Amino acid sequence: MLGTVACKSGCDSYDVFVDFLEVGALAIQQPFTFNSEVFASREAEVVKILKKYHDGDATATMKAFGQMLGCVTMALEERVADFLGQTYMMAEFGNNDRGQFFTPDCIAQTMAKMTLHDGMDAIIKDRGYITISDPACGGGVTLIASVAHMKELGYNINKQVCIYAQDIDGKCANMTFIQLALLGVPAVVATGNTLTMEIRRQAFTPMWSMYGFSTKEDRRMREVAEPKPEPTPAFTVVDCDARPTEEVIKECYTSIQQLELF
Ligand SMILES: C[S@@+](CC[C@H](N)C(=O)[O-])C[C@H]1O[C@@H](n2cnc3c(N)ncnc32)[C@H](O)[C@@H]1O
């Protein structure tokens, strides 16, 4: 399908893939964009991208991009795996200078099984969800393997996990965003440099918005910054063998008072 759009438009298949990712990610965000200025700027961005194609035949290109998004959806229905990242690597679109060699799916799955075990259940019981982060996410293979593992264990990946993903490359952020969004996972995917913490943009998946994860995460961050005081213990452990000093005994006797009811 990439090849067909590329042939018809005279564009390179790499550029078609990049544009598909951008248009796909914007289209997923639009129904949850309530700020009219942001909405309009995203629309304008899509129109600008589509103008490059096929003498301005935006409808045909939009239809092809829609079908490609449909293919990604069906692939993820078939198997929860990093379909876009695999496509990116197979087509040799990776940028060697940025170390864009993605982890093979089987290794990501093993890592997920080794990392997500007993402790996860206690956190979910206490807080309702766990958070998972990949600060150099690529196509999102480690994150997708983690949610696949949670799904296998019977957890609800629409509510019981919250993902933070980031990559310096907008294409990678878009691949991760599209796949996590289609899988129904609450996630925020940032494009930015994790080493300098410069964030260029952030995209929130529909499940993030639908289940109010901004509020939930604000509350969690506040609790981390100001931990709740430890409850005062009902009993204090004392050294039973230690003999009270004379001052302590005197203090006890002088402080004994008649209670009002007895
Ligand atoms: C080796 S790939 C790993 C991707 C993914 N975590 C995986 O396991 O397949 C490294 C990723 O880091 C990204 N990257 C490189 N430098 C970065 C930086 N300073 N901040 C954020 N991402 C970066 C690259 O774009 C690339 O996608």
Q: Is 34 in the same domain as 139?
A: no
55 & 19 share domain: yes
**168 Cβ below 6 A of ligand 1:** yes
Average pLDDT taken over every residue of the chain:
88
User: Side chain identity at 252, as an amino acid letter?
Assistant: C
Please calculate the CA angle 109-24-74 and round it to the nearest 5 degrees: 50
Q: Taking 80 as the threshold, does the pLDDT of residue 261 lie above it?
A: no
181 Cα to the center of ligand 1, angstroms: 20
Q: Is residue 160 part of a domain?
A: yes
Which tens digit of pLDDT belongs to each residue from 25-35?
999 999 999 99
Candidate from 72-86, 89-103, 171-185 with smallest mean pLDDT: 89-103
pLDDT score recorded for residue 44: 95
- Say if 246 falls within a structural domain: no
Adjacent-strand bridge partners of 192: 199
Q: Which segments of 60-186 are extended strands (E)?
A: 130-134, 161-167
> Mean pLDDT lowest for which of 37-41, 98-102, 122-126?
98-102
Q: Ligand 1, closest atom to CA 196?
A: 19
User: Does 60 share its domain with 106?
Assistant: no
Helix axes 170-183, 141-152, angle to 10 degrees: 10
What pLDDT score does 202 carry? 97
| Total count of residues recorded for the chain | 262
Phi, psi at residue 187, to the nearest 5°? -155, 150
Domain count, the chain: 2
Same domain assignment for residues 150 and 193? yes
Residue 87: inside a domain, yes or no?
A: no
- Do 69 and 183 reside in the same domain of the chain? no
Q: Is the separation of the CB atoms in 102 and 81 below 8 Å?
A: no
Percent over 90 (pLDDT), the chain: 69
Q: Is residue 247 part of a domain?
A: no
Q: Which atom of ligand 1 is nearest to the CA of 142?
A: 8
- Would you say residue 262 lies in a domain? no
Residue 138, by phi and psi: left (phi above 0), alpha (psi -120 to 50) or beta?
left
Residues 121, 199, single domain; the answer is yes
118-175 residue pLDDT tens: 789 999 999 999 999 999 999 999 999 999 999 999 999 999 999 999 999 999 999 9
Query: Torsions phi, psi of 231, nearest 5?
Result: -65, 145
Q: Are residues 112 and 59 in the same domain?
A: no
Residue 165 lies in a domain: yes
Closest residue CA from atom 6 of ligand 1:
137
pLDDT score for 142:
98
Q: Is 89 part of a structural domain of the chain?
A: no
**Low-confidence winner among 20-24, 128-132, 179-183, 258-262 (lowest mean pLDDT):** 258-262
- Quickly state the pLDDT bin for 185 (edges 50, 70, 90): very high
- Residues 184, 67 within the same domain: no
- 49 lies in which domain range? 1-78
Q: Is residue 99 within 6 Å of ligand 1 at its C-beta?
A: yes
More confident residue, 239 or 97: 97
Query: What pLDDT is recorded for position 194?
Result: 97
Q: By percentage, how much of the chain surpasses pLDDT 70?
A: 88
Q: Given this model, what pLDDT does residue 262 score?
A: 42
Among 78, 107, 142, the domain boundary falls at: 78
From the CA of 132, how far away is ligand 1's center (Å)? Answer: 16
Q: Are residues 149 and 199 in the same domain?
A: yes
Compute the distance between CA of residue 75 and CA of residue 91 in angstroms, rounded to an integer.
17
Q: Looking at the domain assignment, is residue 245 inside a domain?
A: no
Q: Calculate mean pLDDT across residues 243-258.
A: 61
CATH number, domain containing residue 184: 3.40.50
Q: 138 CA distance to ligand 1 centroid (A)?
A: 5
Closest CA to 112 of 74, 72, 56, 155: 155
Give the SS3 label for residue 141: helix
- Is 9 near ligand 1, meaning CB less than 6 Å away? no
> Which of the listed residues 47, 78, 109 is the one where a domain comes to its end?
78
